[in-house]
């Protein structure tokens, strides 16, 4: 199957990279068996960004490959080594690309400016290592947080040509010949209908005014309802600042004349909508044909009576083209002069209000009376914390419980009537379900705080033995006890020497 050279609408699947997992590690070194936690953080996943490239005119690159995934972040390692971040992907799109969500149809952005860009899929955040989770009350965490998954979504890219003048008319009216005659564009020209299958752009210079002209494929009656090629290309007229009707005054088709052609095309533009405010000109083409010149003289007054300027032209001989160029340039200048100046970019910082923790989540009580009661917890923080938790590690599950309690989830569940054993689901369709087990205050002795290593709190045996020896040595010095010749002496050495000499 041949790949088309021009594509103006594609559906693209984009996915950000997953964040790397944090590392749970304990520093180990000679003479330092308990060096403390040293697990590094996981790297963030890469994001997918759309950026406008003025050199592009088609979306064909995404027609060939419609899935784009950014790379994942690397996991953290021991010895305080953080994982590297995933590499971002920058996708270049033509100016005038409209980005919308494929599922909801919501328009995400209109990339009509040259420096526009949009992040369409954010990478997941990397998980924290146990070194970052350590604190004064949790000195030796035996767990780390998992990295989050990257955002995945399907988007629709729709190209709408950005031009100052749009040429509209029936097939074979001479639109391609006109743009080839007034610019350096070289579209396909032939003597059969629908020769132009893709929009063509050309740059025209008229005096000091430089503007772009778009040649849109031919329209027929019913184009706004899907007939012909009009449904696919009418949207390219939306960007144009002005419209020029190119009317064939030498057609041999029965029932066609310049006035009826003008009425049909205007009806299709009106049915498409959004083009009522565009200024218009009428170019009556093919005046090099004798019968056409006579026809132009007959209909010119009727067209001008509608408030439209008429320019008889011939794309074959070049007659009337200069006048048409300057007429289009005048429309462009008037349009640009009437446009309001762009508002200066202002950076406004709006700090988020500090709200009660209970506003960070919602709890809904559901149940049919037969399958039991379940409480569903929804909220950005609780759901993110669940995704970060390694449920194979009891200490990590306990850390999740502590975080939920500090957020106020348990208190609200108790207020809503939850009792021990009730099902609690955190999340949506992929929710994690727990059995509610409230933490009750009791007089039981707490043996150790979660996240603490008793060996770090107490005294090691080797340290205790060394300190005992040091204490005994200092006590011996204070009592002036010495070891001499393998026997114990309580008197000074000098006295022992005197007694031996007397003997």
Per the annotation, binding residues are 169-176, 194-198, 215-218, 285-288, 314-316
Residues 469 and 472: their CA atoms lie apart, in Å, by 5
H/E run at residue 14: strand 9-15
| Cβ 316 vs Cβ 177: under 8 Å | yes
Q: Write out the DSSP string of 380-430.
A: HHHHHHHHT--TT-HHHHHHHHHHHHHHTHHHHHHHTT--TT-EEEESSTT
Residues 237 and 278: their CA atoms lie apart, in Å, by 10
Which position has the token pair 């060394």? 466
Report the half-sphere exposure of 246 (CA within 13 A, side-chain side): 30
Which position has the token pair 């997918």? 48
Token digits of residue 318: 């070049």
Q: What are the residues facing 211 on neighbouring strands?
A: 204
Which residues lie below 8 Å from residue 216, measured CB to CB, with a gap of 6+? 161, 166, 167, 168, 175, 196, 199, 233, 234, 236, 237
Cα 88 → chain centroid? 11
CA angle centred on 331, ends 326 and 334, rounded to 5°: 120
| Cβ 178 vs Cβ 283: under 8 Å | yes
User: Pairing mode, if any, of strands 432-435 and 423-426?
Assistant: antiparallel
Residues 232 and 224: their CA atoms lie apart, in Å, by 9
For the beta sheet containing 432-435, the strands, ordered from the edge strand earlier in sequence to the opposite edge, are 362-366, 374-378, 423-426, 432-435
Report the half-sphere exposure of 490 (CA within 13 A, side-chain side): 0
Residues 408 and 446: their CA atoms lie apart, in Å, by 23
SS3 442: coil
Which position has the token pair 């006048």? 323
Nearest to 324 by CA among 313, 335, 308, 336: 313
DSSP conformation class of 168: E
Q: Please report, in range form, the residues annotated as the binding site for Mg(2+).
A: 176, 196
Q: Please report, in range form, the residues annotated as the binding site for GTP.
A: 169-176, 194-198, 215-218, 285-288, 314-316
């Amino acid at each position: 199957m041949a790949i088309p050279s021009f594509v103006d609408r594609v559906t693209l699947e984009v996915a950000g990279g997953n964040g790397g997992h944090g590392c749970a590690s304990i520093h180990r070194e000679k003479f330092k068996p308990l060096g403390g936690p040293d697990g590094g953080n996981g790297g963030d996943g890469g994001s997918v960004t759309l950026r406008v490239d003025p050199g592009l005119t088609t979306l064909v690159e995404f027609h060939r490959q419609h899935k784009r995934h950014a790379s994942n972040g690397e996991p953290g390692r021991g010895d305080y080594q953080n994982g590297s971040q995933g590499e971002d992907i920058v996708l270049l799109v033509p100016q005038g690309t409209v980005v919308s969500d494929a599922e909801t149809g919501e328009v995400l952005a209109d990339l009509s400016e040259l420096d526009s860009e949009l992040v369409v899929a954010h990478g997941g955040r990397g998980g924290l290592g146990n070194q970052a989770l350590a604190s004064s009350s949790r000195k030796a965490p035996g767990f780390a947080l998992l990295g989050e998954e990257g955002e995945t979504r399907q988007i629709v890219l729709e190209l709408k040509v950005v031009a100052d003048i749009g040429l509209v008319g029936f097939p074979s009216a001479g639109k391609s010949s006109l743009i080839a005659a007034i610019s350096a564009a070289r579209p396909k020209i032939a003597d059969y209908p629908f020769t132009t299958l893709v929009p063509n752009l050309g740059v025209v210079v008229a005096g000091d005014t430089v503007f772009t002209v778009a040649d849109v494929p031919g329209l027929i009656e019913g184009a706004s309802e899907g007939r012909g090629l009009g449904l696919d290309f009418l949207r390219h007229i939306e960007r144009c600042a002005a419209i020029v009707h190119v009317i064939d005054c030498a057609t041999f088709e029965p029932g066609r004349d310049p006035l009826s052609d003008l009425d049909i095309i205007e009806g299709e533009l009106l049915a498409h909508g959004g083009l009522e405010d565009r200024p218009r000109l009428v170019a009556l083409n093919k005046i090099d044909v004798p019968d056409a010149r006579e026809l132009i003289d007959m209909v010119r007054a009727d067209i001008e009576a509608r408030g439209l300027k008429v320019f008889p032209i011939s794309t074959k001989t070049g007659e009337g083209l200069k006048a048409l160029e300057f007429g289009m340039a005048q429309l462009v200048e008037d349009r640009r002069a009437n446009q309001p100046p762009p508002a200066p970019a202002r950076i406004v910082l709006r700090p988020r209000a500090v709200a009660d923790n209970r506003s960070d989540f919602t709890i809904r009580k559901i149940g049919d009376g037969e399958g039991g009661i379940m409480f569903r917890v929804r909220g950005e923080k609780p759901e993110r914390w669940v995704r970060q938790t390694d449920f194979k590690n009891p200490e990590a599950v306990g850390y999740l419980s502590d975080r939920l309690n500090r957020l106020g989830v348990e208190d609200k569940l108790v207020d809503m009537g939850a009792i021990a054993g009730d099902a609690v689901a955190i999340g949506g369709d992929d929710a994690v379900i727990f059995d509610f087990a409230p933490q009750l205050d009791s007089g039981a002795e707490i043996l150790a705080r979660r996240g603490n290593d008793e060996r770090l709190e107490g005294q090691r045996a080797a340290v205790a033995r060394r300190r005992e020896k040091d204490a005994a040595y200092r006590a011996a010095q204070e009592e002036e006890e010495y070891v001499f010749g393998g026997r114990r002496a309580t008197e000074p050495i000098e006295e022992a020497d005197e007694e031996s000499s007397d003997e």
